[in-house]
Amino acid sequence: MTERDALMRKIQEFAFAAYEWNLYLDTHPNDASAIEQFKKMSEACKHYTKEYEKKYGPITAEGVEDDECWSWVDEPWPWQN
């Protein structure tokens, strides 16, 4: 696995963990420890997303760092392997 793929994998893992807590909280909205877990996971996801965008390009359009070239259009798109 390339370094890029490994970092993306980390983002996918933390995003997934955060989202699982999100769904759990939709049916258990008063579980404070779950809210804490959700926040932990989404913070980690944000952290690695920032690192990824700096190194490899944007994950959201707001993540475009380059002022000269609109890197949002760069390949690969997620379905390309």
Q: How far is the CB of 39 from other proteins (least distance, A)?
A: 17
Per the listing, tokens 């579980």 go with 31
When binding is defined by CB under 8 A, the residue of 32, 33, 69, 77 that contacts other proteins is 77
Could you give the CA distance from residue 39 to residue 41 in angstroms, rounded to a whole number?
5
When binding is defined by CB under 8 A, the residue of 8, 21, 38, 48 that contacts other proteins is 8
- Binding mask 19-48 toward other proteins (x if CB under 8 A, else -) reads xx-xxx-xxxx-------------------
Q: Is the peptide bond before 76 cis (omega within 30 degrees of 0)?
A: yes
